[in-house]
Copies of this chain bind each other. A is one copy, B any other.
């Protein structure tokens, strides 16, 4: 069996992209050594791609009550619930690196209830999964649970917005059959 293609849609050459997207992509390549396929797949539609990456960075690169590793946990748990191969594998790699933990990504992807995480992180993931799967049933009681674990309402927005953004991202990856780069599967699995 040969490998599937990067995307169901045409993938642009980086050199043909508008300058802002090209610069953004080359910066990532410079940093990690390869271009994640999400950039190549979504760049098929530059205007949408710009908004996508701006939104992503506004949610994932900020500081606050939720650590960057915890933000990746939310991505992995909700993406697994949406059967999104790209996001589970790519963000699983980032989670292993940011958490300096080679086990937690697979644990959270398969069943966060059995993961080596704190009760506070478990509550965070329960809230994120409710936003992801049955957001219409959210109510005051869900925010109360977060507060009881020390999360502010701004933290709740962060958790919910990350789950919401990856609801979009997972669907784009499934629509385009976006392939995770082979590099991601083994990243961050050493140590411990």
Contact = CB atoms under 8 A, between A and B. Distances in A.
Interface string A102-126: 1100110111011111100000000
Contacts of A1: 116-118
Given A3-B116, A50-B54, A135-B174, 12 more contacts: A8-B153, A9-B153, A47-B54, A85-B107, A88-B106, A109-B110, A114-B179, A156-B175, A157-B175, A160-B171, A164-B172, A185-B189
Interface of A: 1-4, 8-9, 44-45, 47-48, 50-52, 54-55, 58-59, 80, 82-85, 88-89, 102-103, 106-107, 109-111, 113-118, 131-132, 135-139, 143, 153, 156-157, 160-161, 163-165, 167-172, 174-177, 179, 182, 185-186, 189-190, 192
